[in-house]
A and B are shown apart, each in its own frame.
Chain A
Amino acid sequence: MLPAFEYRSPLSVEEALELLAKYREDVKVLAGGHSLIPAMKQGEVCPKVLLDLRRMAGLSAIDPFEDGGLRIGALVTHRDLEISELARGRSPLLAEVASQVGDAQVRNFGTLVGSVCQADPASDYPAALLALEAQVVVASPRGERSVPVEGFIQGAFETALEPDELVLAIDVPRSWARTAAYVRVRHVASGFALAGVAAQILVEDGRIASARIGVTGVAERAFRLAVIEEQLLGREPLPGAFAEMIRGVALGREILSDGAASAEYRSHLADVCTARALRKAISRIGV
């Protein structure tokens, strides 16, 4: 059952920012509504005002940067990312993640930006966004700022967003197309990630020249596997060659535990997904 609220649908960023400044903690931004509406039904959040972004112009586009990067607007849905030629060409990793989120209905409504703002620890995107070193573009009455996703997501359902701020887009830098992969294990009921790993590797002269690996679902917030990224440098990209270094990638973090998966199992899944993501990424070299 939805509690009562006032509904506003501004047409411009300025208008939206004014409303945010006016209502602050009492307002919630509505994008695809696929996290917010269920949370309202459960009584977890009770905003007095809903600020619907969907009539605002200019937030639905996936724009190319000249250097090969992408700007993904706040209203771009999972489905848009999944099928956009531009996104698939420039950031196949992100498109791969998008194609695995929820089911068709969820993908048609939910947005990338909404997912990042929700900061659900089991959400799929953060693994890839960390591996891609994406930036969150934030607007407020004080102007625009760019925050790395790594710093933007601060914990479970916690972000660096101030009450009067609005996310306009996510910027994804140019990525090394195709040598990336996302592998996850689904929660049997929700379909969210029990563990999800995005890996991206750059191979030059038959050796790994750069590697970035992001892990989601396992801890309160997604994280990078800096040590493994380092160890991979200079190695030959042979499938299954790194098994010995992928042992306990999540150790040292506070690992989530619930009815669906114990911490021990999640930690194990993080290893499995890491190995599989690397293997899959390597298998795509030269494809």
Chain B
Amino acid sequence: MSTNARIEGESTGLEEGPRLVSGCGLFIADLRPPEVLHVHLVRSLEAHARIRSIETPAASASPGVVGVFTHTELAFVCDPLEWIGPLPPNTRCPPRPALAQWEARFAGEPLAAVVAESVAEARKAAEGLEVNLEPLPGILEPESALLQRVPCVHVSLGGNVAYQFVVSGGDTEEGFRKADRVLTHRIARPRYHPAPLETRGVVARWLESEKRLEVWSSTESPHFLRAQLAGAMRLPQSAVRVFTPDVGGAFGSKLGATPEELVVCAIARIVAPRPVQWIETREESLAFSTQARATSGELKVGVREDGRLLSISYDGIDDVGAYLPIVPGHNPSAEGTLLCGAYQIPAARMAVTAVFTNNPPATSCHGAGACGAGYIIERAMDLVAAALELDCVEVRRLNLFRELPATTVTRARYDSGDFSRLVDRAVERSQYAVLRHETSSRRRKGELVGLGVALLVGIGAQGPSRETGGPAWEAATVHVSADGSAEVFTGGLACGEGHETVLARIAAHALGVKADAVRVGRADTQTMRAGVGSFGGRSIATTGSAVLGAARALERRLRGVAAGILCTSVEYVDRDGADFVSGSRRVSYRDLCLLAHGASQLEPGSSPLLEETFVFEPQGSTHPISIHVAQVVIDSETGEVSVERCCNVRDLGRELDPALVEAQVRGGIALGIELALLAGSPRGDDGQPLQRTFMERPVSRAQGVPRFDISSLPTPTTLNPLGAKGLGDTVTMAAFASVMNAVVDALRPLGVLHVDPPATPEKIWRIVRSCRGTGGA
């Protein structure tokens, strides 16, 4: 009986689980290098202002202060952050300075850095800094960014457009002409900060004698960070090493370098040899850090009387804030390809103009932005159902792709899955017919109850690079030491998802050893010399496939060595447990590794280094699918929405570790509910953030979510050898969209056709009140 690792199986969560849940994780704030200095950033209190002066002497004289830095001092050692490589089409990306030079472009932009022996001393000293700002008119509403004679966020660009894209297929105009009905609605999603449990942070140290920079960062992409920092620090990439400790959540907000990382590196160079640390406060995180983009636009659907969609379009404005986030593969147009969702629609068009505003920079959080399109199409389906008085499941069934593989008119190719089966399963598991019936009878008693469905097609692992616009590959190295212990290195890392467990198991399986013989190294640009990172839903599908490739190649090498030892040729070498056997001869795995390192046993020309590197690049994007049914009830007097039921069915391809997947599904649903009911980053009319602590920023809590019914109908993808489609935020967005649909459904009897997220109590109360024309009671 073999005890070797199987590639799929019951979760052990053994690699990182105990470490993380027992408080033994090593996060950026846990690093306490000796002699470390602390940075406190002084930020703009104005959304848009000219910097008249920053007087530093008083702060510099404060106890414990080592230095106070503004743009002028840092300019000696660094340049602004810039886009790396060719810009995506129709994109303008102004350089982003470490510290603002002439102008502050959003409330929270770093203006000066105080460096001291302790955080407390740095903060205290910062109070003595005299910042003289002259407020300027700013752009806070994205719609106003495109008007004539408005201020420019970046004067050098001569306008506020950051990028534009159009993704289209078929003739949408003709579709609208042929349609029996054309429905239009303005829809919007707000900006919000994804609020990872761990805030950002960075430690840097300059080694003058070696002219090298060492950086520790809570990042999703160490190699990309290295490239950006090296560029801005005027160093070759080979002189910069980025280490990643444990990362406590990211959701897209830790992708790419931001001024904070650059400030710390620049100061480290100045104050060398002392290391320098900056840990983002919760307030900085919630109020000033990279947020999720806001979008608003017009949705238009052309539909036949029988419920078939002929055409769909979305014409929107996105708010990217003051600077374009510089992230690898930043490709908002990916969203456009998913506009048709699971449906066979003859014509579709998504046109987006992204504008600079005097708000904090914003990026694609949760599902690489791709899931935004899923929300649009799923709202469209419900608008159609409402207009034609059809059941929302029926409308979806009518329009589904009957068979996969299929390619949408916007050229998204779905390689595997069965939409109809997923819908059937969700209808069955949620007892949809019973719920509908119950909803009607509760409505008759005056309750505002609603049922919502959403079928989300997301993007997991993107590829290939030539189509996605950013690097879509990942590299992995597997190394076996003389004692047989194996190490895996990749360019990716985990943000709490459990990748170490799964990657170790993949490698162990391919090597034919037990999972505990394999360790997964921390992301480090020196041990793994090239890589892309962990974002979207790429890690297991892409990084995992790279690990599999490397481990398989290494196993072939080991067989070759075994063949030499067993005096046979490689095709006659078999595995028995971990041992290598040929006929009655046998060499144990451990002995083999030891012998292989002793060069005498080697074939001439082969290497004693038992190591293989493999690069995997998907030849198409995977599309995880999730269907969600939610039931909500609204308190008509207070506007409070409670989610009463959640049923989720998913096809994420092959699930290597169902328990870890389910943990993410549960978390994803809770997050989806949060996005629907709670999350938004409201700012005052002056651009000041209104959420600075968790006393203001609501999050999903255990008491606010119902029991979930979750199940899986996996169909392996053919786009990678593991068959995994990845999770992305497909489940999250399905839960989000279905809860929004349920909220609208609950308000339907009052004549409501659409509600923008978040469905906060006061907003819902106002809607109910205006529909009823009374005090809402």
**Which chain A residues have a beta carbon within 8 Å of chain B's beta carbons?**
1, 3-4, 42-43, 103, 185, 187-190, 192, 243, 247, 258-262, 265, 268-269, 271-272, 275
Contact = CB atoms under 8 A, between A and B. Distances in A.
B638 A3 contact: no
A262 B682 contact: no
B638 A259 contact: no
A4 B124 CA distance: 13
A189 B695 contact: yes
B120 A3 contact: yes
Contacts of A3: 120
B747 to A, nearest CB: 17
B635 to A, nearest CB: 9
Contact of A185 (B638, B678, B701): B638
Interface residues of B, number: 28
B776 A268 contact: yes
Secondary structure call for the B interface = loop
Contacts of B696: 189-190, 259-260
Contact of A190 (B695, B703, B761, B777): B695
B691 A259 contact: yes
Contacts of B694: 189-190
A52 B761 CA distance: 39
Nearest to A276: B637
B693 interface: yes
Given A259-B691, A275-B777, 14 more contacts: A43-B123, A188-B677, A189-B691, A189-B695, A190-B694, A260-B696, A261-B762, A262-B762, A265-B762, A268-B765, A268-B775, A268-B776, A271-B777, A272-B638
B599 interface: no
A189 B638 contact: no
B697 interface: yes
A158 to B, nearest CB: 20
Given A189-B697, A189-B698, A259 B690 contact: yes
A185 B640 contact: yes
Contacts of A243: 777
* Interface majority SS (helix, strand, loop, mixed), chain A: loop
Nearest to B769: A268
A259 B688 CA distance: 11
A176 to B, nearest CB: 27
B762 A272 contact: no
B45 to A, nearest CB: 16
A275 B777 CA distance: 11
B691 A269 contact: no
Q: Top 6 nearest A-B pairs by Cβ distance?
A: A259-B690, A189-B698, A188-B698, A190-B695, A265-B762, A272-B637
Contacts of A1: 119-120, 123
B468 interface: no
A188 B760 contact: yes
Nearest to B640: A185
Interface string B654-684: 0000000000000000000000011000100
Interface centre among B123, B691, B694, B777 (most CB of A within 10 A): B777
Nearest to A265: B762
26 contacts: A3-B120, A4-B120, A103-B703, A185-B640, A185-B761, A188-B677, A188-B678, A189-B691, A189-B698, A190-B695, A190-B696, A192-B695, A243-B777, A258-B690, A259-B682, A259-B690, A259-B691, A261-B761, A265-B761, A265-B765, A265-B766, A268-B765, A268-B776, A269-B638, A272-B638, A272-B777
Contacts of B693: 42
Nearest to B124: A3
Contacts of A185: 638, 640, 761
A279 to B, nearest CB: 12
Contacts of A247: 775
Contacts of A187: 695
A222 B682 CA distance: 28
Nearest to B693: A42
A90 to B, nearest CB: 29
A265 B691 CA distance: 19
A43 to B, nearest CB: 8
Interface in B673-727: 677-678, 682, 690-691, 693-699, 701, 703
B345 to A, nearest CB: 37
Nearest to B699: A189
- Please indicate which of the listed interface residues B690, B691, B761 has the most CB atoms of chain A within 10 Å of its own CB: B761
A32 B777 CA distance: 39
A230 B761 CA distance: 32
A185 B642 CA distance: 13
Nearest to B704: A188
A275 B637 CA distance: 11
A268 B638 CA distance: 8
Nearest to B758: A188
Nearest to B763: A265
Nearest to A248: B775
Interface in B607-659: 637-638, 640
Contacts of A265: 761-762, 765-766
B761 A188 contact: yes
Contacts of A258: 690
Nearest to B119: A1
A275 B691 CA distance: 31
B404 to A, nearest CB: 40
Contacts of B690: 258-259
